[in-house]
Structures are given as C-alpha cells and as structure tokens.
Amino acid sequence: MEKTTLDIKFLGTCACDFSPRLENEYKDCFDLNERRSSAILINGQYLIDAGMHILDSLRIAEIDSDTVTDIFVTHTHSDHFDAFNIERLAKNRKIPLRVWIREDARVPEIKNAEYKRMTPYVKYEAADGVFITGVLANHDIESAPQHLIAEINGKKLFYGCDGAWFLTETFNYIKGAEYDITVLDATVGDYLGDYRMGEHNSIPMLRVMLPSLKTERIITDKTKVIFSHIAPSLHKPHADIVKAAEEMGAIAAYDGMELSI
C-alpha cells in the first residue's frame, strides 16, 4: 500500500563540533550527547544533507543506501555536503542519484549522480506528489545556503538548518504556511553574548522567534517544532536542552530520533 505519512529519521543532529568518538561506539554506548553531522531521512528515500558522517549514520541506522533516491542539500559546508561520500552513495546505480542544490552552488561533478539545480522560491516536483522548494537562508553566502520546504503526501516540512533568524523575503514567503513539522537551527546554547548570531540561532533567539512564527501562522499549536544542528560544546547536556525546548513547546532532536505524522 502506498505511504500516506511523513516519516522522518534524524540521522545526525550536530553542528561542526563533533565528538571524537565515532562509528561503532555510537551503537555500543548510546549517548544522547554524541551527535553526527546533521541529516534527516524522509520516508526512507529522501535525504536532507549528506555530510562527513552520512555513510556511518546510514550504516548505524541499518538503512541500505541504495534506497536513497534523492539528496536535498541545504548548503555546501562539509557537515552538510561531502562529495566523496555522495559518490560512495551513488556507486553502482543504474538510475543516477539526484542531488538537489541551489543553482549557484560551486560543487564538483560526482559519478553516477545528477545535479538538480534549484532556483530559490521555485517549487519542484521530485517525484509523484513530492515537492521541494529552497528558500534563501541567513548563513555563509559562499556556501549557497537555502532552507528547504518538503511537501510529501500532503504534509509540510520546513527544514531551517543552517541559518540565523529569517531573511525578509523568506519570512514573507512562508507566512501562513502552517507547517506540520519545522526543524530549526539551534547551534548555540542557552546563554547571551555568542558571536554567531549572524549565522546560527541560539536558545534565547529561538525564544524570541517562536511566538512571532505563531503570529504569522508559520507554525501553529499543532506543529512539531524541532531544534537540531546542536553544538554540544555550546550547550548543556541533552536533558537540559530537552527542558529548555519543552518550555517553548518544542522538541530537542537527538541522533536516531524518529517522527511520523
């Protein structure tokens, strides 16, 4: 039977400050503070981002990489886009792996992969009933950053990593969208004075943002708001992030977290 849900698996939830512990240790010694490069898998088939840990993340989640048909890339920073790993994912395919990326991203050719160049604010049909739109993000401009809107089976996901606040044109574009799931950048912890406010969110910034997102019906009381792209070195332990998120009606992501709506 055809799938009618939107299922998400968080394969990685980290910013760039990776734990020195890697791979197998994650499985034997599961620790919610250990995070790999941020990526999610939608309906077992559509990957958002494929950074330096993606092969391990898929292996640990016991996902056959051949089931991935499309990668939607937020930007070209190495924790989100790793050409070598994507080439490994694309290996031995009859149908090329589709890699959706902003039209002006500077990226190398990848064997067995086909780039789908995206113009911001244009909606593309990736498959039957699967739509993807990139909207401009406030992040390092050299990395061709975009937030992603995925519409699958009539459900709507906003994926906002990486980026601080919202650019005006993006905010105007998403007004009234009432997303079912909204994933937001939460790189920086619960303190004031961090220098990254022009590229990443902090917990205090999210406290300011969420009520305004509600005012403009970008999120509603029904929206699952998820904090991800979390830098362990800038945060307290996971349990404290969970508490801070809960106070805002949000959820703190961890590697392996699953969600279905």
- In the complex, the residues that contact Zn ion under the rule CB under 5 A are 77, 79, 162
User: Residue 17 Cβ, how far from Zn ion at the closest point, in Å?
Assistant: 10
Nearer to Zn ion among residue 84 and residue 111 (C-beta): 84
Nearer to Zn ion among residue 6 and residue 100 (C-beta): 100
User: Residue 140 Cβ, how far from Zn ion at the closest point, in Å?
Assistant: 6
Nearer to Zn ion among residue 151 and residue 199 (C-beta): 199
User: Residue 136 Cβ, how far from Zn ion at the closest point, in Å?
Assistant: 14
Nearer to Zn ion among residue 56 and residue 79 (C-beta): 79
211: left (phi over 0), alpha (psi -120 to 50) or beta: alpha
- The sign of the CA dihedral 190, 196, 200, 206 is positive
User: Residue 234 Cβ, how far from Zn ion at the closest point, in Å?
Assistant: 13
What contacts 197, CB < 8 A, 6 or more positions away? Answer: 164, 205
Q: What is the 3-state secondary structure (H, E, C) of 239-252?
A: HHHHHHHHHCCCEE
Tell the burial category of 95 from Cβ atoms under 10 Å away from its Cβ (0-12, 13-18, 19+): exposed
Nearer to Zn ion among residue 46 and residue 81 (C-beta): 81
User: Residue 125 Cβ, how far from Zn ion at the closest point, in Å?
Assistant: 27
What contacts 152, CB < 8 A, 6 or more positions away? Answer: 6, 42, 43, 46, 129, 130, 131
